[in-house]
A and B are shown apart, each in its own frame.
Chain A
Amino acid sequence: MMTRLFAHPIPPLAAEVDRLFNSIFTEPRWQAGHVRPGMAWVPPMNAWEDDQNVYVEVEVPGLTMENLELLIQNDELTLRGRRESASQELIRQERWSGQFERTITLPAIVESEKAEAHLNNGVLAVTLPKAASARPRKIEIRTLPESR
C-alpha cells in the first residue's frame, strides 16, 4: 500500500532528476569548445558531420595561412591565429584584433594526415575524414537456407 502511495509522485521527480543529470553529463563533450583564458575573442565556428567526414568552417576575415595554425591531435582540433589591428589610431573600432586560440573536441576520431584545409575569402574550411573505426559499417546479413 505504501509503495503505491509513493509510487505516484516519485517517478516524475526521478525522471526530472535523470533528465537534468543526463543533460549535464551526457551532452557531447566536444560541444563544450574551450577558449584559452585571456583571449579577447574567438572566430565563430560551424561544424557538421556525415558518414565519411567531419567538416569545420571558421570565419577568419583578414587572416592568411601564414598567420593561422591548425592542429589535430586525437579527437581534438585546435586553431590558433593572430590578426593585426588595421591602424593604431582608429576612430571607430568594431573588428577584433589580436591573438586567439580555441580547441574543440571532434565528434569522431579522424585521420589527421588526410585532413584538408582551404582558405577562401576569409573562410577557413576543413574536411577531416573519419577514421575507419568511426565510420558506420554495413554488416552483411546472410540469409540462411530455409530449413524445412
Chain B
Amino acid sequence: MATENGKTQAIEKTSPQSVEVSERTPAQQERTGWVFTPAVDIWDTGQEWVMTADVPGADPQKIEVTCEDNVLTVHAPVAQRWHGPATVRRAEYNIGDYRRTFRIGDDIDVEKIHAECAAGVLTVHLPKSSRAQTRRIPINVA
C-alpha cells in the first residue's frame, strides 16, 4: 500500500452509487493550518451504508457531520499539540484538521443519518430509505 504524507492511499474496488466519494487530495495548507483528507472505508449492510474515517487526534466533541443538498461533509478539527522547545527527531506526519465531502443518493434517509466516534475513528451510518433497503420477501408455502 503506497503512502503519501504518511496517509494511506486509496484502494478502490467499485464506487457505490449511493455514496460518491470525493478523491483524496494531498494535504492542503490553509489559513488555519493543514487540512487532510481522511482515509475512509465504506460498506453496505443491506439496510445502510456505513462509512468509517480515520481522524486520529480529533476531539469527538468538535467533529461536525453536515448534510446539505445531497452533499455530506465531515469536518474534524484537530488541536495543535505543541510540546515546548524540543529537537525534532522524526517527523512522519503533520497535525491538522480532516475534511472530506461525499455525494449521497436520494435513496439515503437523510433524517436518520447518525455518527459516533471512538479511538480516533469516526463511523457514519447512512440508512437507506425503505424503498432502497434490501428486503427479504417471505415466500408463502402453499
CB-CB nearest in chain A for B24: A94
- In the bound assembly, the distance between CA atoms of A50 and B87 in angstroms comes to 6
| Given A55-B86, A60-B56: A45 touches B92 (CB 8 Å cut-off) | yes
- Min CB–CB distance A73 → chain B (angstroms): 18
Interface size class of A (residues with CB under 8 A): 35 or more
Could you tell me which B residues sit within 8 Å of A by CB distance? 1, 3, 6-16, 21, 24, 39-44, 50, 52, 54-60, 81, 83-93, 119-121
Could you tell me which A residues sit within 8 Å of B by CB distance? 28, 30-31, 33, 40-41, 44-50, 54-57, 59-64, 85-87, 89-96, 104, 107, 119, 121-123
Closest 7 pairs (CB-CB, A-B): A122-B120, A61-B120, A44-B6, A122-B56, A44-B92, A47-B90, A94-B39
Please name all residues of chain B whose beta carbon is closer than 8 Å to the beta carbon of A96 when the two chains form the complex. 1, 8, 39
Please name all residues of chain B whose beta carbon is closer than 8 Å to the beta carbon of A62 when the two chains form the complex. 52, 54, 119-121
- In the bound assembly, the distance between CA atoms of A28 and B90 in angstroms comes to 11
